[in-house]
Amino acid sequence: MALQIYNVLHREKEPFVPLHEGRVNMYVCGPTVYDHAHVGHAKTYVAFDVVVRYLRYSGYDVLYVQNLTDVGHILDSGEDRILKKARQTQSLPMQIAETYARSYFADMDALGVVRPDISPRASGHIPEQIEMIETLLAKGHAYISDDGNVYFDVRSWPEYGKLSNRRVEEQEAGSRESVREDKRNPEDFALWKLAEPEHILRWDSPWGVGYPGWHIECSAMSRKYLGDTFDIHGGGVDNIFPHNECEVAQSEAANEATFARYWMLVGSLTVPDEFGVPVKMSKSLGNFYTIKDALKLHRPEVLRLFILSGHYRNPIVFSEDALDAARKGWDRIYGAVRLVRTKLQSAPEGDAGGAFRDVVDKAKQQFIAAMDDDFNAPGGLAALYDLTREVNTLLNSSETVGRGVVEAIDQTYRELGGTVLGIVPEEEAAMASTSAEREAGLIQLLLDLRADARAQKDFARADQIRQQLTGLGVTLEDRPDGTIWRVD
RNA sequence: GGCGACGUCGCCAAGUGGUAAGGCGAGGGUCUGCAAAACCCUUAUCGUGGGUUCGAUUCCCACCGUCGCCUCCA
């Protein structure tokens, strides 16, 4: 079965056929960089990271574009988020954008999220946005209001609402906010706004000095790098309306071409409130955990596994208990990986135990079948857990296993767990420095001494060594073929 | 009020028109000097009520509950 993707546009799974064979052009709405990213962002971008990784693993040449919003994202109060932060911290707006863009990349790097190929910023694409607005005006899908602002004319575009399945007539016009008088219709959205004197983020335009609306950046930038029509558009479900809806409308109106062919939207991350009821984590509610804080408590692989243990379209509830369960599951998988890598050092040449290759192949097929079904990462993980049980059984048995087979197992973990899911590290980071090498040597020395003690049935001495090492965070495992250790 | 989604073992979570993966936890074993780890066994009839069907957890309707969006949010 070839890859199927749940297309939000049609509310069903569809076979994935890219516009150009072997190539995938993909755009994902990025963050507004006015604060540190929280674990909700981690969910969204880890989910798309795995999408991109799996597409590449499947042989596609992926061009992945993810924007950074650094202008135009207006608050209810009419204030720009970036400007607000700049005022609060007495900084320049671009200083804020730069600070948090770096913070965002640092977080994503730490989470093992592969960087997008292009990370365009809204502020760096003002001409492209102006050009698209001019096109919309020329085609009669936008108008200049009495106040001089430019709005998209929703009534001129009957398809408006097709993504979020909302009919303009159904909306309670201006029920939540006073309708801006200069709009023809309350649902019209801003393409360009004239800047008030105190608004520092400002650019020249045919309509005067001002700044672009929030939605137009994604339309302009995706078009610039991916073309009028591209394959996949991603983002968080919470942006389906109005943001994504506006993107589709203005892009298709301006380009007279289909915008994104497949829409993939990720479920939100929630956090229990004081009564245990899950509520959405968001910056404005102030109930968020930053990725930096989460990474102080958990390895990035554990955070990823937690995120991937639910399907990307479903919401997940963030809690320490859930993270703890994820950590234990991860320990099991990684324990097997470590065992495999240990065995690799002593495995005899040859293909003894070659029948196990069937088990490995089966796991791989199971994994691919799951991922081909709309990137079902939980199913993929189940394949890894099944494999792990088999691997443990094999390597803990007295059966001789040749190097070729052990290598095949290791390779499978590297591909599926490492390359695709990003939860199996390449090498133990702790081994990557000279001081760590020295430490390993010292521990081995103690293990040798302990082995002597055990041989002489001096268990008191043997246990003393083990206990002291445990106290230092080094756990020992006595195996038939020797003692191995790990740092917790 | 409108739109969207969800409700599967104690917890988390896949999935299928023909009686349900996986993880965590719990109980019982095996192995071990002890431990650690691992492995084995046990642990669900799928929110409620109808309907369609030979047969539904899976399709349809209603209801209850929860979440998201409709206003900035990944």
Residue A288 has what pLDDT? Answer: 81
Would you give the DSSP letter of residue A314? Answer: S
3-state secondary structure A432-449: CCHHHHHHHHHHHHHHHH
> Which two structure tokens, joined as six digits, stand for A27?
């755009």
CA of A294 to C1' of B71 (A): 29
Would you give the DSSP letter of residue A195? Answer: P
User: Are both A403 and A482 inside the same structural domain?
Assistant: no
Structural domain includes residue A293: no
Residue A205 has what pLDDT? Answer: 96
Strands A269-272 and A142-144: unpaired
The tens digit of pLDDT for each residue in A146-163 reads: 999 999 999 999 999 999
The residue from A266, A284, A311 where one domain ends is: A266
Residues 6+ apart with CB under 8 A from A322: A306, A316
Sign of the torsion angle spanned by Cα atoms A53, A56, A57, A60: positive
CA of A112 to C1' of B3 (A): 36
The tens digit of pLDDT for each residue in A219-230 reads: 999 999 999 999
Residue A299 has what pLDDT? Answer: 94
Nearest nucleic acid nucleotide to A81, CA to C1' distance: B72
User: Are both A398 and A452 inside the same structural domain?
Assistant: no
Chain A 39-68 contacts with nucleic strand B (CB below 7 A): 40-41, 43-44
Structural domain includes residue A304: no
Q: Which residue is nearest to nucleotide B15 (CA to C1')?
A: A379
Residue A341 has what pLDDT? Answer: 93
User: Are both A472 and A401 inside the same structural domain?
Assistant: no
Could you give the CA distance from residue A401 to residue A348 in angstroms, rounded to a whole number? Answer: 7
User: Are both A44 and A139 inside the same structural domain?
Assistant: yes
CA of A7 to C1' of B46 (A): 26
Do A34 and A85 touch, CB atoms closer than 8 A?
A: yes
Would you give the DSSP letter of residue A413? Answer: I
Could you give the CA distance from residue A371 to residue A55 in angstroms, rounded to a whole number? Answer: 10
Structural domain includes residue A282: no
Do A74 and A201 touch, CB atoms closer than 8 A?
A: no
CA of A217 to C1' of B72 (A): 16
User: Are both A442 and A368 inside the same structural domain?
Assistant: no
Structural domain includes residue A291: no
CA of A94 to C1' of B70 (A): 32
Q: Cα dist. A404→A139, A245, A344, A353 in Å?
A: 65, 53, 9, 9
SS3 A377: helix
Nearest nucleic acid nucleotide to A317, CA to C1' distance: B12
CA of A487 to C1' of B32 (A): 22
Domain enclosing residue A206, as ranges? 4-266
In chain B, which nucleotides are within 7 Å of a protein Cβ?
1-6, 11-15, 21-25, 32-40, 66-74
Nearest nucleic acid nucleotide to A478, CA to C1' distance: B36
Question: Tell me, what's the ipTM?
Answer: 0.95
Q: Is the CB of A277 under 7 A from strand B?
A: yes
Q: Which residue is nearest to nucleotide B69 (CA to C1')?
A: A238
Residue A99 has what pLDDT? Answer: 95
User: Are both A415 and A435 inside the same structural domain?
Assistant: no
Q: Cα dist. A126→A71, A131, A403, A440 in Å?
A: 10, 9, 58, 55
Nearest nucleic acid nucleotide to A244, CA to C1' distance: B69
Angle subtended by helix axes A403-412 and A356-372, to nearest 10: 10
Per-block mean pLDDT, blocks of 10 residues, chain A (488 long): 90 94 97 93 97 98 96 67 86 93 97 97 96 97 94 93 79 45 85 88 94 93 97 94 94 96 94 84 76 95 97 94 95 95 89 92 96 97 97 92 95 98 84 80 94 93 93 91 87
Structural domain includes residue A55: yes
User: Are both A444 and A382 inside the same structural domain?
Assistant: no
Chain A 73-112 contacts with nucleic strand B (CB below 7 A): 73-76, 81
Domain count, chain A: 3
What CATH number is given to the structural domain containing A228? 3.40.50.620
Q: Is the CB of A35 under 7 A from strand B?
A: no
Residue A174 has what pLDDT? Answer: 41
User: Are both A438 and A409 inside the same structural domain?
Assistant: no
User: Are both A233 and A132 inside the same structural domain?
Assistant: yes
Nearest nucleic acid nucleotide to A477, CA to C1' distance: B36
